[in-house]
Amino acid sequence: MALYQGLHQKLQQKLSPQQIQLMKLLQVPTASLEERIKEEIEENPALEVGVDETDQDQEPVESADNYDEENSNADDDLANDIEYDDDGEIAEYKLKDDHVPELQESGSIPHPSSISLHETLVDQLRLLNLNTLQSTIAEQIIGSIDDDGYLRRDTQSIVDDLAFKQNIESNEDEVESLIASIQQFDPPGIAARDVRESLLIQLRRKLKQVSNGAQKIALRIIDFHFEEFTKRHFDKIIKSLEISEDQLKNAIAEIKRLNPRPGAHFSTVNKAEQYIVPDFFVYNNNGVPELSLNQRNAPELKISEDYKGMLRDYEKGSKQDKRQKEAVNFIKQKIDAAKWFIDAIKQRQHTLIITMQAIIDHQKNFFLTGDETSMRPMILRDIAERTNLDISTISRVANSKFVQTEFGSFRLKHFFSEALSTDSGEEVSTREVKTILQEFIDGEDKQNPLSDDTLTELLQSKGYNIARRTVAKYRELLNIPVARLRKEL
């Protein structure tokens, strides 16, 4: 095969570093934005927190209606001095709202400090009269307990762990004996292998303290009829134990007082999940929804005056050796990077505002009334068409963002739902159907809960053209069990 040379034209589309930086910033929620800015300040000494003195007289941005695109223009004098190819300085753009208290940007959110489950168990372990070997084995067992308080690792595996990781020889009987001792620790039900064993441990401890008939029946139900209990086959339990319906009700009440997750109280939760930091605030101002950004979304950033001065001094110098040229290039690179980051933050604000404003315009009735049945069908494409932004950009904005309203805080994804046709041909939001479905189930007779077929008929009677399998899917999305598991005595 002969070799030859040729010319070919090819069109490619690539994202610039600035576009990539903007896309990444759009995905960052308000709770993490401050940390991201601190990282950038640490990496780039030309970037500082504060307001540029030349921009202090400008009005801050309050909503999407008065967003001033001229704020993104550069400082002309500085641009002439250092001959930037693109726009530079950023104006003041901190948001303010008289109706929302200002957040202290320098303040930190307090997080509760508490002792962990494993620390609690180790403290109780010291109260036992154990030798060094037994204490080591017991600590290995405690270390195998998960955050829910269950010991899901089998005994032989614990023996193997001791042999391979700590070079300790033990046997299953020795480990089982220590597990039995740990199961007497607080909280009750700890170190059980499954829910059934945990409930049995808790009931037996209660019977030792105060014994009554309901607790004894509850113990027999969990010990001998656990499967029937979980499947709500109450008739079989009544017949097998030869008890009355009232006795069964009292026994079930005792079981409901038990804790199926004994270690949950001590489980550590991610700090970012403990507190919701809203990205937007929406309030009803005489029938008009008003939007404002969380002030943490609008940090005050500027380019370091020291770096500006150094660049001017180097530019005015008559002689520039190699070292000076390298210094000038370094300073320019840092100032450019700082300017790009400030512009990206500014563009992030603008994108957040116009996207949220489009969502408010589409779901205006909900933001005024808080009635979820008034929500209109809305998908990413609808907002993309309103804002002239790409669908992927809308998706990034909606990801991990929250809005605080007079009716509570909601994820932005909460307002997106598909459409469902009614008998009259009108399109309604699937969230409206889910809300009505939840109302039907909340108001049902718990002794005779509504089946999926009955729920389908009720929805169809209200004009919603929906199939049974769709009702089952919505019920599962709402974490509602089937009718048999919702049955109560």
Structure tokens at 91: 């104006």
- Regarding beta strands 402-405 and 280-285, do their DSSP bridges make them parallel or antiparallel, or are they unpaired? parallel
Contact 111, 274 (CB under 8 A): yes
Q: Are strands 47-49 and 402-405 parallel, antiparallel or unpaired?
A: unpaired
* Cα–Cα dist 439/246, whole Å: 29
Would strands 301-303 and 419-421 be described as parallel, antiparallel, or unpaired?
Answer: unpaired
**Is the Cα dihedral 466, 363, 348, 282 positive or negative?**
negative
Amino acid 110: pLDDT: 52
Taking residue 218's Cβ as centre, other Cβ atoms within 10 Å add up to: 28
What is the Cα 162 distance to its own chain's centre? 38
Question: Percent helix, strand, coil in the chain (nearest 5)?
Answer: 55, 10, 40
- Distance CA(435)–CA(449), nearest Å, equals 17
Task: Identify which of 335, 214, 358, 338 has the alpha carbon closest to the alpha carbon of residue 282.
Answer: 358
Helices 17-27 and 391-398 cross at an angle (nearest 10°) of 40
DSSP conformation class of 372: G
CATH top class, domain 417-486? mainly alpha
Q: Are 480 and 441 in contact (CB under 8 A)?
A: yes
First and final C-alpha spacing in the chain: 84
Q: How far apart are CA 423 and CA 459, in angstroms?
A: 11
Q: Which SS3 state, helix, strand or coil, does residue 294 take?
A: coil
Are residues 349 and 298 in contact, defined by beta-carbon separation less than 8 angstroms? yes
Distance of CA 366 to the CA centre of its chain: 23
Q: Which tokens in the block code for residue 385? A: 């068409």
Residue ranges of the domains in the chain?
17-101+278-404, 117-266, 417-486
In Å, what is the CA distance from 263 to each residue of 115, 117, 269? 12, 7, 13
CA dihedral 10, 15, 18, 21 (to 10 degrees): -160
Q: What pLDDT, on the 0 to 100 scale, is given for residue 265?
A: 77
Rg (CA), the chain: 32
H or E element in which residue 326 lies: helix 322-362
Q: What is the pLDDT of residue 330?
A: 84
Helix, coil or strand: residue 302: strand
Of 473, 454, 457, nearest to 465 (Cα)? 457
Helix (H) / strand (E) containing 113: none
- How far, in Å, CA of 99 to CA of 285, rounded? 10
Tokens 């409930």 found at: 199
Give the Cα separation of 457 and 471 in Å (integer). Answer: 10
What is the phi/psi pair of residue 405, to 5°? -120, 180
CA dihedral sign, ordered 231, 235, 236, 240: positive
pLDDT at residue 325 in the model:
78
Q: What is the pLDDT along the chain (489 residues), one digit of tens a residue?
A: 678 788 878 776 666 677 777 778 887 888 788 888 888 888 888 888 876 665 544 444 444 444 344 433 433 343 334 333 344 333 333 334 444 344 444 445 455 556 788 889 999 998 888 899 999 999 999 999 998 899 999 999 999 989 998 888 889 999 999 999 999 999 899 999 999 999 999 999 998 888 788 999 999 999 999 999 988 888 899 999 999 989 999 999 999 999 999 988 775 544 444 578 888 999 988 889 999 888 776 678 888 888 788 877 776 765 667 777 787 788 888 888 888 888 888 888 899 999 999 999 999 998 998 888 888 888 888 899 999 988 888 888 888 889 999 988 898 888 888 777 666 666 677 878 888 898 899 988 888 888 999 998 888 888 888 888 888 888 888 889 888 888 877
**Number of helices and strands (H, E) in the chain?**
22, 8
- The residue type of 253 is A
430 in Cβ contact with 63 (< 8 Å): no
